[in-house]
Amino acid sequence: MISLNRFYAIAQKEFIHIVRDWRSLFLALAIPMVLILLFGYALTLDLKNVPTIVLDRSGSPQSRRLLSLFDGSPYFSITRFCYDYREIEDALDRGRAMLAIVIPGDFSRKLLSGKNVKIQVLADGSDANSARLALGYVKSLAMIYSEKIQAERVSLAGKDSVATPVRLNFRAMYNPDLRSQNTIIPGILAVVMVVIAAMLTSVTVAREWETGSMEQLISTPVRVPELVLGKVGPYFIIGMVDVAIAVFMGRWLFEVPLRGNAGLLFAVAAIFLTGALFFGMLLSIVLKTQVLANQMAILGSYLPTLLLSGFVFAIENMPHPIQILTYIVPARYFIALLRGIYLKGIGLETLWLNVLLLTLYALIMVILANRKMRLSLE
């Protein structure tokens, strides 16, 4: 049976440690804000104002009309007009342009005579993802221009507009504007929580062994569950405060919608935080040195959360063996829960399996931490 008095005494002792080490406490509260600002502003999958140079060998009203589509688009920024390929190569080499558009000299003649005409688009492929996005935007603008030309040809021929046999009606569910912040900000919650757990709880028990105060704790009537829970308790409170900070900044700074139940969001965050804290505690118990425990916590929690959870990189695009490996990363389920609650507004009727797996992970970490602490004290 756990004694509430002994549990409270351990929690109070740990809280005093936190308050005395004010720099760690400051970092624990400041890191979420720094991460959200960095990821929210710097890590964006949107592509706008792509620096573009143009080699217009036609110089006709038709070519200027095409270029006006690029100049009026928020995705492109025509920075200069050049006169030969050497200028294009130099601009791409020096990183002054990401895209180059080459319009042939017979562009206007072929267009007015009803023939097909090709333009050349050169992209800097050293940044493959950005180049792929930029070329996709170019294709969309080219399609718009082609449809306008086709409509004018039909009108000049004295015919009614010809109906397109297949028309695609695009609509992005849950994130209509396809804002990358709407998917990144919820994922940052998972990153913030594992960073806090790695930085704080991974050194708690190790610090007691290094300072020699663990022997004093062993000599007291404190039982293992009281010791473990008492040490984790203050950090759990700090972690939930960090969650509240992250949710507040995401909503009011980046205008990320929270369509689901806020209570469910904090409940699943508490489950994930419990697992992350006891994982750090487990490392602290087993390794018994602060530096090694902290490093292993970062390797075992932060990196998998960043790389293998689907936060930054789509799991479906990973090699099959890596996809299988992601099933043991708890942040995979937590990020799926966050996006479901934030963007889709769904609840436990759909997300119950992710909640169950996350709860199972937290229980395993609690049991292992208590068992290892008992063996360590014997």
Note whether 123 and 36 are same-domain residues: no
Q: List pLDDT tens digits, range 309-363.
A: 888 778 887 888 999 999 999 999 999 999 899 988 888 988 999 999 999 999 9
pLDDT band at residue 55, thresholds of 50, 70 and 90? Answer: very high
Last residue of a domain, one of 121, 156, 191: 156
H helix or E strand, kind and range, residue 80:
strand 76-81
**Model pLDDT, residue 37:** 84
Residues 24 and 70 in one domain: no
Q: Which residues pair with 102 in a beta bridge?
A: 55, 120
Three-class SS state of 101: strand
Of 51, 44, 90, 91, give the one whose Cα is nearest residue 71.
Answer: 51
Q: For residues 211 and 97, which has the higher predicted lDDT (pLDDT)? A: 97
Q: Does the pLDDT at position 166 exceed 70?
A: no
On whether both 12 and 89 belong to a single domain, the answer is no
Residue 176 or residue 37, greater confidence: 37
The stretch 2-24 carries a mean pLDDT of: 76
Task: Answer yes or no: is 161 within a domain.
Answer: no
Domain match, 222 and 244 both? yes
Q: How far apart are CA 65 and CA 56, in angstroms?
A: 12
Residues with Cβ within 8 Å of residue 106, at least 6 apart in sequence: 58, 117
Last residue of a domain, one of 156, 190, 218: 156
Residue 364, CB half-sphere, CA atoms under 13 Å: how many? Answer: 10
Q: Are 242 and 192 in contact (CB under 8 A)?
A: yes
The answer on 74 and 18 residing in a single domain is no
Tell me whether residue 166 is in a domain: no
The answer to whether residue 229 sits within a structural domain is yes
Are 134 and 184 part of one and the same domain?
A: no
Highest mean pLDDT (candidates 184-188, 233-237, 246-250, 355-359): 355-359
- Give me the number of domains the chain comprises: 2
- pLDDT at residue 267, as a whole number: 95
- Give the pLDDT band (50/70/90) at residue 27: confident
Instruction: Tell whether the model's pLDDT for residue 255 goes beyond 90.
Output: no
Pair (142, 244) in one structural domain: no
The CA dihedral of 307, 171, 36, 330, to the nearest 10 degrees, is: -40
Residues 294 and 281: their CA atoms lie apart, in Å, by 10
pLDDT band at 4 (very low <50, low <70, confident <90, very high): confident
Q: Round to whole Å and give the CA distance between 290 and 164.
A: 68
Average pLDDT of the residues in 278-300? 82
CATH code of 142's domain: 3.40.1710.10
Q: Does residue 256 sit within a domain?
A: yes
> Band of the pLDDT at 96, cuts 50, 70, 90?
confident
Q: Is residue 224 part of a domain?
A: yes
Write out the two tokens for 263: 């209570």
pLDDT, mean of residues 260-271? 93
Q: Tell me what the mean pLDDT of segment 144-152 comes to.
A: 80
The pair of three-digit structure tokens given for residue 185, joined into one six-digit string: 């900000």
- State which residues form the domain around 264: 4-43+180-377
Return the minimum-mean-pLDDT range out of 95-104, 175-184, 213-222. Answer: 213-222
Mean pLDDT lowest for which of 60-69, 158-167, 201-210, 219-228?
Answer: 158-167
Q: Give the H/E segment covering residue 305.
A: helix 303-307
Q: What pTM was computed for the model?
A: 0.78
276 lies in the same domain as 354:
yes
210 and 277 together in one domain: yes
Strand partners, 120: 102
Place of tokens 């143009």: 54
> Torsion angle of alpha carbons 126, 130, 133, 134, nearest 10°?
-80
